[in-house]
Structure 1
Amino acid sequence: MNKRVIILLLLISILMIVLSGCGNQNQTEQTQTSSENLLETETDWETILKEAEGQTVNFHMWGGDERYNRYIDEFIAPKLKESTGVVLNRVAIQDTKDVMNKLNNEKSANKTDGTVDIIWINGENFKLAKENELLWGSFASQLPNVNQYVDINAPDIQFDFGQNTEGYEVPWGKAQFVFIYDESNITHPPTSFEELGEWMEENPGKFTYPAPPDFTGSAFVRQALYETTGGYEQYLEPVNDIEQDFTPLWNYLNEIEPNLWRNGETYPESLAKLDQLFSSGEVWMTMAYDPGKASSHIEQGLFPDTTRTFVLDGGTISNTHYLSIPYNSNHQAGAMVAINYLLSPEAQLAKMDPEHWGEGMALDPSKLDDVDQKKLEELDLGIATLPAEQLAEFKVPEIPANYVKVLEEGWFEYVAKR
């Protein structure tokens, strides 16, 4: 082969590489443009559905409760795929903070092809994600089911631990802190933290709580804060510099410690561990940020039939939890379609059923049609679930997000290390 032919072939090869690179660049730019267009109000839902079809969406969520896992894997995922062609892949995590750290690292490395498409999120994690620009954008108004069924301006939906959601996340469910007990061992459950302390003195070793930063353990500490320091009202406004004196809280938690399970020398590392202790009868109470959990666990044979729930006379903390899309999700259209289905009456009513989850829905009941309202009225929430009216009567708001880390660090410093 002569030199001219070789040179010509080399030139052709170089030209093909250059053209290929340009094509990839154009494709990347088109994908990016498409991603940005999805947030524009003029992008119709049919366009989003078409782009989403065939996408596999990675849903990162806490995997510590088998009810939640089965609900996603056995109910949501098959129906979503059948109706939209979107494949939902549940990725179990232990703590949402781990996902926040992953996204922060990817942001620092300018990684645009992330593997997280949907996050189950609220509170401090949402605050951090929003402040560090880890979320994709304000997508809530693009979802038909949000527009049709959600009262997006309701204070308990618009504000997440004091943070304005601004459409960066959409509500997935509502929860309220409850105590769970076995009525075969406890005839009259305590109605305050003072009575709880007295009960522990009479029944040493039969109560404990998960060590923060476990979500429910942290909620227990926040619940104790309200009662030991004079109520929740003083904490409602977010502040940059927290100067309150939490000494009464630390004093109370230290006073009850000798009467806790194993004399308070160790704490369950998770709510799942505490539930195991309750199920085996080693402790006589557990707790949940989920009023329907006890009924669901009875249904599944995990808790005894004599399990019941109670709330305190001073009220128990309630909040809304949300779904959001990371800034570098590869499948924003699929994520939007999946979240939209998770907010459908079908999915939300199934989620309320104790056989699936047993949690309060994020939809406004008055916005449901007559058929779905009748289904809601006929839904059996279970023998251990308190009536919605009672829960509403004893509901108090969550503390702003910037208190959470301070309280968790304070617990470790003034209780765990003491």
Structure 2
Amino acid sequence: MKKLFSLLLAVLLLLTITGCGSGSEPSSNGATSTSEKETVTLWTGGSENVKNTWIKLAEEFNTNSEYKDKYIFKVEHISSGTGATSLLDRLIAQYKANEENDIYDIVEVSSTEYVTYMQEAGKDIFMILDKSKIPNYSHMTAKMSQGEDQLVPYRGTTVVLAYDSEAIPNPPKTAEELYQWIRENPGKFAYNTPGSGGAGQSFMVTSVYNLMPEEAMTSSDEKWKEEWDKGFDLMKELHPYLYKSGGKVVYPHKNQGALDLLINKQIVMTPAWVDMIISQINQGTMPDTIKMTQLKPGFTGELANLAIPASSKKADAAHAVLDFVLSDAAQTILLDGMGAFPVVDMSGIDSKNAEMLSSFKIEDFRAAEIGSLRSELVQKWDEEIATLE
């Protein structure tokens, strides 16, 4: 009896081992096992909305017939405002230490951050892309002023002029018309403090750089600081005509602070991010009487891009993800989930948000790629504008 029991136990153990080992073999229906697929990880940051949209993109990639049998796409997200070391600082530190890279397969890089990467680490920090592995790149309509051989834009956003169409049926069309409107309608316009959000920062940057040579907008050369005073004089002159509370001019805190004033009809016009307006109209927190327009010359925006660190060990898988984000399916998810401006021809994109963007063209987006001069501008604003009575 003992021998029979031992024999049965041995057979059962053999069957168990055989069953566990089958995970490395293709299944009977031809599917590829998880262990045979290459996992590729994207590192990104920003709001929860960015995180949630990337999770949806990963789910779409991992079920897409073109990729699902070869790769598994994962997302690592560094939440903004948590005090965690930024992705930019982590990657530059790793590069300078010449550490082996087993973590960063793909990273998100804004146009502004790319300038910092080039200043701090140089071009060798990122891989030169093989465009033959990114066939959807041929559909891209976004224009890049730098990094074209290392970056793939996946979404765009820009600051626009948000206004209450009931109060303003014919909004300003140019920057000069806006400045004159502010003078003629005291208390009805506001922009948030530049250090607290990009919308107010865009108003500051364009107020300064509209009065400078066009080339300055894409240069981090210190020489341009000598020409800032004209723009600051303009902002000082406009200061007394801005929104007031308790008899004093108030600059709202953060992008949402200015939008809240607009929603509550305390003002009728403000610079705002286009994706924030779209999201809040869809959520029902902003009345549909709020409309958007772009000035000439326009407020600034930026492209969010993906790059492959030069030390990445998963170049083919990373190129596959870069190709995927330029597909109509991925661009639709981005427009639906974030109000993100598509970087490809919109004719193949089916989204409820497309109509709200129909009057804008991403090729007309204006970027301020001025590197560390941006933080110096903010500091100068804090010292010279925020202190005005």
Q: CA deviation at 1:53?
A: 3.4
Number of the residue aligned with 2:143: 156
Cα distance per residue 1:282-325 (max 9 Å; x no partner): 443343343x5534431221211111101224444454331124
How far is the alpha carbon of 1:126 from its aligned partner?
A: 0.7
In the alignment, what sits opposite 1:144? 133
Quote the offset at 1:274 in angstroms: 2.9
One-letter amino acid of the counterpart of residue 143, structure 2: D
Q: Could you say if the C-alpha distance between residues 410 and 51 of structure 1 is closer, same or farther in structure 2, counting changes exceeding 3 Å? A: farther
In structure 1, give the amino acid aligned to 2:61.
L
Percent identity over paired residues: 16
Secondary structure of 1:85's match?
strand
Is residue 126 of structure 1 aligned with residue 114 of structure 2? yes
Pair 211,351 (structure 1): closer, same or farther in 2 beyond 3 Å? same
Among 398, 401, 407, which residue is 2:377 paired with?
407
3-state SS in 2 of match to 1:351: helix
The partner residue of 1:254 within 211, 216, 236 is 236
The equivalent residue for 1:349 is: 332
TM-superposed CA distance for 1:182, in Å, is 1.8
Partner of 1:387: 359
In 1, Cα distance between equivalents of 2:72 and 2:160: 38
User: Residue 29 of structure 1 corresponds to which residue in structure 2?
Assistant: none
Q: Contact 2:218–2:370 (CA<8 Å) still a contact in 1? A: no
Partner of 1:338: 321
> What is the identity, as a one-letter code, of the residue corresponding to 1:172?
Y
SS at match of 1:172: strand
Q: Is the 8 A contact 2:46 2:79 kept in 1?
A: yes
Match of 1:169 in 2: 151
Q: Alpha carbons of 1:396 and 1:174: their partners in 2 closer, same or farther (altered >3 Å)?
A: closer
Describe the shift of the 1:280–1:119 C-alpha distance in structure 2 as closer, same or farther (beyond 3 A). farther
Does residue 1:375 correspond to 2:359, yes or no?
no
TM-score, structure 1 normalization: 0.67
Q: CA deviation at 1:165?
A: 0.9
Amino acid at match of 2:112: E
Instruction: State TM-score, norm by structure 2.
Output: 0.71
Closer/same/farther in 2, CA of residues 148 and 205 from structure 1, 3 Å limit: closer
- Is 1:59 matched with 2:43? yes
What is the rounded CA distance, in whole Å, between the counterparts of 2:142 and 2:177 in structure 1? 32
User: 1:255 Cα shift?
Assistant: 2.3
Residue identity opposite 1:256 in structure 2: L
> What residue in structure 2 maps to residue 5 of structure 1?
none
| Alpha-carbon displacement from aligned partner over 1:152-174 (angstroms, at most 9, x marks no partner) | 8x8922x2xxxx31532211123
- Distance, in Å, in 2 between the alignment partners of 1:204 and 1:320 is 33
Q: Is the 8 A contact 1:150 1:362 kept in 2?
A: no
From 80, 89, 92, the counterpart of 2:76: 89
**Given the superposition, is the C-alpha separation of residues 410 and 112 from structure 1 closer, same or farther in structure 2, using an over 3 Å criterion?**
farther
Q: After superposing the two structures, state which structure 1 stretch, 186-195 or 329-338, moved more.
A: 329-338
Aligned CA distance change for structure 1 residues 412 and 133 (closer, same or farther; 3 Å): same
- Contact (CA 8 Å) 1:174, 1:318: kept in 2 or not? yes
CA contact (8 A) 1:297 1:303 kept: yes
1:270 maps to amino acid: K
Query: What is the Cα deviation at residue 382 of structure 1?
Result: 5.1
Shift of 1:245: 1.7
Give the structure 2 partner of residue 14 of structure 1. Answer: none
Would the alpha carbon gap of residues 286 and 102 (structure 1) be closer, same or farther in structure 2, given more than 3 Å must change? Answer: farther
Gaps of 5+ in 1: 1-49, 366-372
User: Which residue among 218, 222, 242 is the counterpart of 2:201?
Assistant: 218
SS in 2 for 1:387: coil
Change over 3 Å in CA distance of 1:242–1:194 after alignment to 2: same
1:98 aligned partner: 86
Q: Distance in 1 between matches of 2:234 and 2:244?
A: 18
* Equivalence for 2:19: none
**What is the aligned partner in structure 2 of residue 188 from structure 1?**
170
Change (3 A) 1:340 1:96: farther
Q: Which residue of 2 aligns with 1:80?
A: 61
Size of the aligned set, in residue pairs, is 342
Offset from partner CA, 1:203-240 (integer Å, 9 cap, x none): 4164223423633332222222244x16x535256363
